[in-house]
Amino acid sequence: MNFRRILGILIVLLGAISIGVSYYIKEQVGEGETKIKSAQESVDKGNQLFSGSSNPIVKGFGQSMTGSAQKKINKGKEEVAQYTTFANQLQWAGIALIVLGAIVIVIPRRKRKR
């Protein structure tokens, strides 16, 4: 095998690895989204519980109890968005690398005239 064919195979392998890593990231993000959704439901229930009171002290206590949890949930949602974007970019880069590697392997080398 010549250098060009080996290079093409390495590029294809790098592309396949990129796609595999992107699927792994998406799987982890999906699990994170499930946890965030569950936490958001709990916070919403807490807010409903305390918001029904006409006493402003009870409302303030409820907001202080759920406020920090809501901040963590919002931060988690931002991270999910970032990782989703990264995983999509990695997947497209992997596809591009596979196509590039296949082109490098398939297209024959030009022969020099002597």
pTM, rounded to two decimals: 0.75
19 touches 111 (CB < 8 A): no
Taking residue 97's Cβ as centre, other Cβ atoms within 10 Å add up to 20
State how far the Cα of 62 lies from the Cα of 56, in Å rounded to an integer: 10
93 touches 18 (CB < 8 A): yes
pLDDT, tens digit only, all 114 positions of the chain: 688 889 999 999 999 999 999 999 999 999 999 999 998 898 888 777 766 656 666 666 666 667 788 888 899 999 999 999 999 999 999 999 999 999 998 887 766 666
As a 3-state breakdown, the chain gives helix, strand, coil percent values, each rounded to 5, of 90, 0, 10
